[in-house]
Structure 1
Amino acid sequence: MAVVYATLIIKGAYTFDRVPANQQPKVREYLAALELDTDGKPLEV
């Protein structure tokens, strides 16, 4: 389910703060693996 939330965030259809608390760490992990922040935007280097 975390992959679905991450995909929705990337597409702009969902926000990280709407993700259930128990899913947030895994969603953050997926986004970080794609070098994205919790808004689905590229990480600043």
Structure 2
Amino acid sequence: MKVFAIIVPDWAIYGWLAVSAVQALFAILSFTLRGRDKANHRETFE
């Protein structure tokens, strides 16, 4: 792990973490929005 840390700069690690965090946020947001849409459709159909 020490060799990996020396080869990869800190900004690259933080950038990758930020990108993965943003992707996770977008996935959660889209999932919740989809779930809400399904719930709304169910209510209208009933």
The structure where helix makes up a greater share of residues is: 2
TM over 0.5, yes or no?
Answer: no
Structure 2 length as normaliser, TM-score? 0.29
Give the TM-score, by structure 1 length.
0.30
